[in-house]
Chains A and B, each alone.
Chain A
């Protein structure tokens, strides 16, 4: 870990301004991802802006009948919220499928969206990695790629986004609210929030430098059955090989988003038209452009089978 300076921010706008002003600044929320990366010098911020004191830890009902979730709401609190459990079960279930109780107590809504990949080469500073050190190459391509992306990857990076929560947010059409260093605010549709790796896998979102997430809003509830199915190598405390988040209406229509397959939560709205025709048809459209490696080609049938089980469960 490199030495760094530290300040506590007192308002969102001030935090964003400070971040833009100070070279090498980063926000710190729960710290469950950032601190680990700093210890390994994968992240080397020179200045930390602690946002925990900002009063962004409430969940409010919006005038449109949706929810506005403060950026600092802890994963535990969000998963347990009565409105979330009742109207956005997918979100609650996705959160509870992630990490452990202790981690969820610290992890925040914004931090969860911004957690970085679990590609093992990203974690080893001896290895080339375009995401960690732009231009150094990608050790995972041609190497141990079993956990990595099958779709939307590039010749520069085949990493996945590891978040469970983000998969639910994608299916729920969430909006990320932010404040920029000049004090202006905006809302970014979750579909536009995470980027594909392309030639710049180090740039993971459409946030601009210094931009602070203040909240995530959910539109009004869409009803239906909410199912989150996370498939992994052990029963708990592991990242998804693939995960399927689905909202299924009585008539068989609905929404599907996938985790564990791409650099961002994977959803193709056009594929959802196939839902009444079943998992094979949906997966065919969802993963039409897939280019898996030999080691992770199993994720394609796994998605189809898992989605099949989810759709069957929704019917039953």
Chain B
């Protein structure tokens, strides 16, 4: 039982990270209707850029600011160069463009900083927290808790940003109705730029945390891609969906790896989130929070 709880808690904590990345995705989807497949590549790019800058001897905080600056530039450039020319194209064309972007960003990151795997130390150890271990015999990793804490704070901040700031309200207006938003004078392109910058920020935080945990390598792109099954669970447009979906995916993935992985030779985490989301959709195609919808003709 203790062990089960330990695995479950570890899973939930890592699930918060999925939620976080999924949220960046929801943001872009809501504001511009773009299914941004490049989110995973952006995580990789962010982490690699940060480590690359650190290696030049730049202090931690400055590197953080510079990496964030790079992500903002990347986001704005994406909006300007890739998405704006494709405005009014079918969603599938935009989707394909973001797949192309994925290759480009991955290539760019490696061209700039090299392809070798690097470590990243944020100064927080991946070890059980003493007093919890003493009190309950359950090991909760300090690092996981820290990461989840950061993600939780940011998730809340984003949700509040959406809800209460002027830009946030504009974002939601755009999401509800592009035409209407335009007609009341909200500059769509500004909104998109902001959204891509925020997505870049999300990618940076995710990149740092995952990079610190697993090393900064190409496989980060696959980790970040797991925000996608989270999205199909929670829905592309739902903030609570992204949060709950992330927790579900995070915890079941860990449980499956621990309890099933042994029988099947491990590595289940490469596919489990996808199969899990798929199985869930078969039972409930409208997703976690979606409403049942009957096509109108």
Query: A and B bound?
Result: no
Residues of A at the B interface (CB closer than 8 Å) are none
Residues of B at the A interface (CB closer than 8 Å) are none
